[in-house]
Amino acid sequence: MTSFWICRTCAVEHATRPEVCAICADERQWVPASGQSWTTLDELAAEGRHIEVEELEPDLFGLQTTPGVGIGQQAKLLRTPAGSLLWDPLGFVDDDGAAAVRDLAGIAGVVAVAASHPHMFGVQVEWSRRLAGDAGPVPVLVAEADAGWVARPDDSIVPWSGEREVLPGVTLSQPGGHFPGSAVVHWAAGAGGRGVLLSGDTIFANPDRTASFLRSYPNRIPLSGAVALRVAGHVARRPFDRMYNNFDGVIPADARAVVLRSARRHAAWVRGDFDHLT
């Protein structure tokens, strides 16, 4: 018997199967012209899905579902001696994928599952259960401001706001923007001690190694210049040399300065400073 449903378009888990996925019906996402479609973990597995893991840098790993599911994000497993954080969890999990994560996390285990924003919830509760240790399911940290988007309530879900040190030197914070609770992870020991930012798409690493600030990525709705500057200023409070988005995008060096420059560029364009070029 199916215990929960997964939206085919965003791959977020739902306790019930509504007429339409509220996350996809919002202007920041989309419902296909063909209409709403649902699936299950068993169906996805039968279609040949599996999880691939790659090392991005020491103690940071990218997880990808192949073939892709939903939005197709690359989850991140951030490992420290005190435990690991699973960030932007995939919309698919199987026994092999969970075992791979447990093996990478080692004896300290996964201490938390968290998403940058509701589009990245994936099957977060299912990951929590599959990674359960002696203390039970892994806590799923959900921003209070975005808790209304949770479609599969569970006792493992822990609301948070502001800032939260998940592990020593690993801090969640909420610059907002894309969603009111949009979050990032600052990892002080990353990039050889120069600092890493896991930005989800709160700040998006572009192909030219600049950054974007959008309300909707698929529908190309910008944030205001003031919000872009606020978000950049928030993350710039801590040093970071490298930034990873929620796919395979990365700003490999000087990322803090790049984010600040990109926010100023964004603000100038939406303000009309460069209208003479159009």
Q: Indicate whether 1 pLDDT > 60.
A: no
Task: Please compute the mean of the pLDDT values over residues 37-43 and round it to a whole number.
Answer: 98
Pair 266, 222: CB distance under 8 Å: yes
pTM for this model (two decimals): 0.97
Task: Please compute the mean of the pLDDT values over residues 98-126 and round it to a whole number.
Answer: 98
Q: Topology of 5-277 in CATH?
A: Metallo-beta-lactamase; Chain A (3.60.15)
Q: Indicate whether 133 pLDDT > 90.
A: no
Task: Please compute the mean of the pLDDT values over residues 32-50 and round it to a whole number.
Answer: 97
Note the pLDDT tens digit of each residue in 253-276: 999 999 999 999 999 999 999 999
Residue 91: both structure tokens together: 């919309």
| 134 vs 230, more confident | 230
State how far the Cα of 56 lies from the Cα of 7, in Å rounded to an integer. Answer: 29
pLDDT value at residue 134: 79
Task: Please compute the mean of the pLDDT values over residues 191-205 and round it to a whole number.
Answer: 97
Task: Please compute the mean of the pLDDT values over residues 221-242 and round it to a whole number.
Answer: 98
pLDDT value at residue 135: 78
State how far the Cα of 276 lies from the Cα of 144, in Å rounded to an integer. Answer: 43
Task: Please compute the mean of the pLDDT values over residues 176-190 and round it to a whole number.
Answer: 98
Q: Indicate whether 188 pLDDT > 60.
A: yes
Per domain, the residue ranges of the chain are 5-277
State how far the Cα of 132 lies from the Cα of 148, in Å rounded to an integer. Answer: 25
pLDDT value at residue 2: 64
Mean pLDDT of the chain: 97
pLDDT value at residue 201: 93
Pair 151, 13: CB distance under 8 Å: yes
